[in-house]
Amino acid sequence: MILKTVNVSTGPVGITAEVQSALAAPCISHRSAGFERLYIRTTELLCKEMNVQQTFLLTGSGTVANEAMLWQIKMKGGKGLILSNGEFGTRLIEQSRRNLLNFLVYKLEWGKKFDVSEVEKLVQHNELKWLLFCHCETSTGVINDLNTLSEIATKNNCLCFVDCMSTVGTYPIKLSKVAMATASSGKGFASVPGLAIVFSNIPVQTGDYIPICLDLHHYLQKKGIPFTISSKLVSALYTSIQQKLQNNQFELLHEYGERFYNRLSNQNLVPYSDPQSKVFTIVHRNNARKDFIDKMNYKQVLFSYESEYLVKSNWCQLATFGYYTKHDLDYVLQALG
């Protein structure tokens, strides 16, 4: 008998009873002293855990966080390089194009890994001032080499900007070597969507053309709270971060991530996903996708298969972004057969 649903989708992710309680609490004014204390407590915790100088919380999705980061790149000026090996690297290119940034593109087929020596040549030969990429390309599960790429940037006087949507909160990474990074409340931090997160190690700049809702300098002047931010969302995020940090979730997700990878790899279903990734892109042959969807739905395992790029490619995805017990993950392994 199936006792409950287990959520291993790329989002919205499964949340705990404690996070649900935080969401059920009455709203408090974003102008109140109580909210300011909650905001400071949450951003200070994020700064400490991510090893960054500043954290900004904006109302919106991860895409909003990337927009705020792109405006800071634009204010810094100079020519940059954007890396793409999947759907979300391509999205960064499109957002940068719309923001009229000056950049080169190093684009590979989905699932391919970047040649870091080629990246370094491009940075050096073109005297580039910034580098932008996804740490984990969520569309395939490929993890790009954050440490090496950030070292290349530092060595060449180039600022490193990173989309960390699928890695922050899923295993312990430190962001001290990057200029800026972005995340979302609704993925690896195991809360609900609604907060865009920007981590920064550089002074933020302002300009007359930056939309005020994306102007991080304006946020800084207003102690991070220039506009309405939901106290429920901030409280839920703070609760979920504490739970993940205090209950060995990193160790559990590392162990079961390898077990998921091995189980799927033995069935030749994950040609792109990385063993260290927490996103597993399942590539189906012929009509096997429908059978897989029916089987997992019957077993009440929530996963991702309706995104446009998944439908187009005949793929499905599992992701361990939420908060789990061993029983939850054992059940998913059993469901995978």
Three-state secondary-structure class, residue 282:
strand
pLDDT for 99: 96
pLDDT for 3: 59
Asked whether the domain spanning 28-229 has the same topology as the one spanning 6-13+246-336, the reply is no
Please give the model's pTM, rounded to 2 decimal places. 0.95
- CA–CA separation, 98 vs 273, rounded Å? 30
- CA–CA separation, 233 vs 195, rounded Å? 7
pLDDT for 259: 93
pLDDT for 40: 98
- CA–CA separation, 136 vs 171, rounded Å? 12
What value does the mean pLDDT take over residues 222-227?
96
Closest CA to 124 of 173, 157, 148, 169: 157
Tokens representing residue 67 in the block: 């927009």
pLDDT for 318: 95
Domain ranges of the chain: 6-13+246-336, 28-229
- CA–CA separation, 38 vs 225, rounded Å? 11
- CA–CA separation, 12 vs 86, rounded Å? 21
Q: Give the CATH class of 28-229.
A: alpha beta
Tokens representing residue 103 in the block: 């950049």
Q: Give the CATH class of 6-13+246-336.
A: alpha beta
pLDDT for 274: 83
pLDDT for 2: 52
Neighbours of 278 (CB within 10 A): 28
What value does the mean pLDDT take over residues 294-314?
95
Mean pLDDT taken over the chain: 95
CA distances 24 to 29, 122, 337, Å, are: 15, 50, 37
What value does the mean pLDDT take over residues 281-302?
92
| List of residues 6+ apart from 331 with CB closer than 8 A | 6, 301
Q: Find out whether the peptide bond into 12 is cis, omega within 30 degrees of 0.
A: yes
Give the confidence band of 172 by pLDDT, cuts at 50, 70, 90. confident
pLDDT for 247: 76
261 in Cβ contact with 270 (< 8 Å) = yes
With b meaning 16 or more CB within 10 Å and e meaning fewer, what string describes 196-227?
bbbbbbeebebeeebeeebbbbbbbeeebbbe
Task: Report the alpha-carbon angle 277-253-113, nearest 5.
Answer: 10
| Extended strands (E) in the chain | 6-7, 54-59, 80-84, 103-107, 130-134, 136-137, 142-143, 159-163, 180-184, 195-200, 279-283, 301-302, 315-319
Q: With 50 as the cut, is the pLDDT of residue 1 above it?
A: no
% of the chain surpassing 90 pLDDT: 91
59 in Cβ contact with 194 (< 8 Å) = yes
Give the confidence band of 12 by pLDDT, cuts at 50, 70, 90. very high
Q: With 70 as the cut, is the pLDDT of residue 52 above it?
A: yes
Half-sphere exposure of 206 (CA within 13 A, CB side): 10
